[in-house]
Structure 1
Amino acid sequence: MTTKSKILLVEDDLSMGFLLSEYLEENGFDVKLCRDGESGLSTFRRGHFDLCILDVMMPRMDGFMLAQALRSECASIPFLFLTARSLKDDKLKGFSLGADDYITKPFDEDELLCRINVLLRRQIPVAIPASPQRFTIGSYAFDYSRQELSWQHETWRLTETEAEVLRLLCLNQNQILRREDAVEAIYGKKDYFLGRSFDVFISKLRKLLQHDPTISIDNVFRVGFILNVSD
């Protein structure tokens, strides 16, 4: 018997919430619906979920605040925003919080289902013996399997996407990592806003790596980035 994937849906529009819950359950998912951010966080803490779908405009705790709380509870939980807000700044903020996708209303249910399945497939462990899990970056140590970056006596826990971006940079150290190739490898598709979110993760990694002057993540205009580590 196949275990159903569990989805936490936090949506303050109950009509939308019930319709979407019913659609997802008809397609084989176990869905828990909450109508505000606080109840969503409480429900998340009481159970195990494979994916979270968050509305942005909610009372008491909005989707962005909830996303930050979820990331502090579980750095690896995938989540996507489902919202009527389509402004570029909102999308970039969502991705900077570690969102795996951002879908605006109204949306096509089949497209949403496809995106959910892509995110869930990424959670399935795949053994790739040839791909290293630990990297040395100048005076830093990066453990991809634990999503940890260490320098001297400090250790930072990265989000899943941050760890994936840094892994790709490490695998291409001192070579160009094309932005569109990286976005496709991480998200399974090419998309302008996902490309911009990739830039946000690069900025975060630059700040974390700033303690070692031999390390730089250099921009290659309209192409991508290079993780340069000098001797």
Structure 2
Amino acid sequence: MSQPAIADSQSEAPHLLVVDDDARLRTLLQRFLAEQGFRVTGAADAAAARHALANMFFDLVVLDVMMPGETGIELVESLRRKGQDVPILMLTARGSPDDRIAGLEAGVDDYLAKPFDPRELALRIRTILRRAAPPPVETVAGPVQLGSRWFDPQRAELRGPEGVVRLTGGEQALLAALAARPNEILSREEIAEALGTPEAGERAIDVQVTRLRRKIEPDPREPRFVQTVRHRGYVLRPGL
């Protein structure tokens, strides 16, 4: 479930949870990210991360894939099944497209292959946080109808008869990008730019679309709302 906001003055700085079993790397990341203006908490494994998430609010999780016991991928899958929608940036020593796609399919918002430049990590974190923030009211289009559900771009919120439909930060950003230009075909490159991940490959965008369709389509195998336009991209077709 979504985590309640904390009202104290310290909550003005984004609070990050860094999860990595490598104590040296974890300490270095905590120190560097703190110098970048973030509040940072560390966790050595999935169990410690669960405990932290249950007791504190976090704006974003930086999560290693390869950890003893429960892996990062397994932790993400478990969190998403339980409705935990905190943005997650995954660190992976495996830089192949298949490994990155596995992370996206599990529900991460972005990924970064090791070794990485800490400055790029900070940049990606800020990109995800900007993406997760509600857009300014004056630039927001009105609600978009998707069958029995409505997407409110101002709140980045999807609602239906069952209440709020949980979306990850990546799913929210994708739907917001499509809803901003309904009935207009967006190329995968345009979508990647809108998501703040211009380096994302076509397959990564396709995976995000597949995940979104599971949340909004009556039958994801025959999509009514997010339609594929062969060789061109995707288009959002609002309606009943």
Aligned equivalents of 1:87, 1:15: Cα separation in 2 = 25
The answer (yes or no) to whether the contact 1:41–1:69 under 8 Å persists in 2 is no
- Of residues 41-50 and 152-161 in structure 1, the stretch that sits farther from structure 2 once superposed is 152-161
Aligned-CA RMSD value: 2.8
- 3-state SS, counterpart of residue 138 of structure 2: coil
Tell whether the 8 Å contact from 2:144 to 2:151 is kept in structure 1 after alignment.
yes
Q: Which residue of 2 aligns with 1:6?
A: 15
Report the equivalent of 1:148.
Answer: 158
* Contact 2:76/2:106 (<8 A) preserved: yes
Sequence identity of aligned pairs in percent?
Answer: 33
Quote the offset at 1:10 in angstroms: 0.5
Deviations 1:112-156 (Å, cap 9, x if unpaired)?
Answer: 122222223334444233523521134543345263253x66874
Q: Is the counterpart of residue 121 in structure 1 residue 133 in structure 2?
A: no
User: For the structure 1 residues 230 and 15, does the alpha-carbon distance in structure 2 shift closer, same or farther, using more than 3 Å as the test?
Assistant: closer
Judging changes above 3 Å, is the alpha-carbon distance between structure 1 residues 113 and 157 closer, same or farther for their aligned structure 2 residues? closer
- What is the distance in 2 between the residues matched to 1:163 and 1:125? 10
Counterpart of 1:201 (choices 201, 208, 217) is 208
* Contact kept? 1:173, 1:228, Cα under 8 Å: yes
Alpha carbons of structure 1 residues 104 and 216: separation in structure 2 relative to 1, 3 Å: same
**Which one is further off, 215-224 or 38-47?**
215-224
**In structure 2, C-alpha distance between the alignment counterparts of 1:53 and 1:67, rounded to whole Å:** 11
Q: What is the total number of aligned residue pairs between the two structures?
A: 227
Q: Which residue of 2 aligns with 1:171?
A: 180
TM-score (norm 2): 0.80
Given that 1:214 and 1:230 are in contact with CA atoms closer than 8 Å, whether structure 2 keeps it comes out as: no
Distance 1:159 1:5, change over 3 A: closer
The one-letter code sitting in structure 2 at the alignment partner of 1:204 is R
Q: Does 2:116 match 1:110?
A: no
Gaps of 5+ in 1: none
The answer to whether the 8 Å contact 2:149/2:158 transfers is no
Q: Which residue of the other structure, out of 76, 79, 83, is the alignment partner of 2:88?
A: 79
Classify the secondary structure of the residue corresponding to 2:137: coil
Instruction: Provide structure 2 residue ranges, at least 5 long, that are not aligned to the other structure.
Output: 1-8
State yes or no: 1:54 paired with 2:63: yes
Q: 1:7 to 1:155 in 2, by over 3 A?
A: closer
Counterparts of 1:162 and 1:118 in 2: how far apart (Å)? 15
Instruction: Confirm or deny that 1:183 pairs with 2:196.
Output: no
Are 1:67 and 2:67 an aligned pair? Answer: no
Q: Which amino acid aligns with 2:46?
A: G
Aligned to 1:192: 200
Letter in 2 for 1:74: Q
Whole-angstrom CA distance in 1 between matches of 2:147 and 2:83:
30
Matched, 1:23 2:37: no
Residue 37 of structure 1, CA deviation: 0.7
TM-score by length of 1: 0.83
Pick the structure with more strand per residue: 1
Which of these residues, 203, 208, 218, is aligned with residue 210 of structure 1? 218
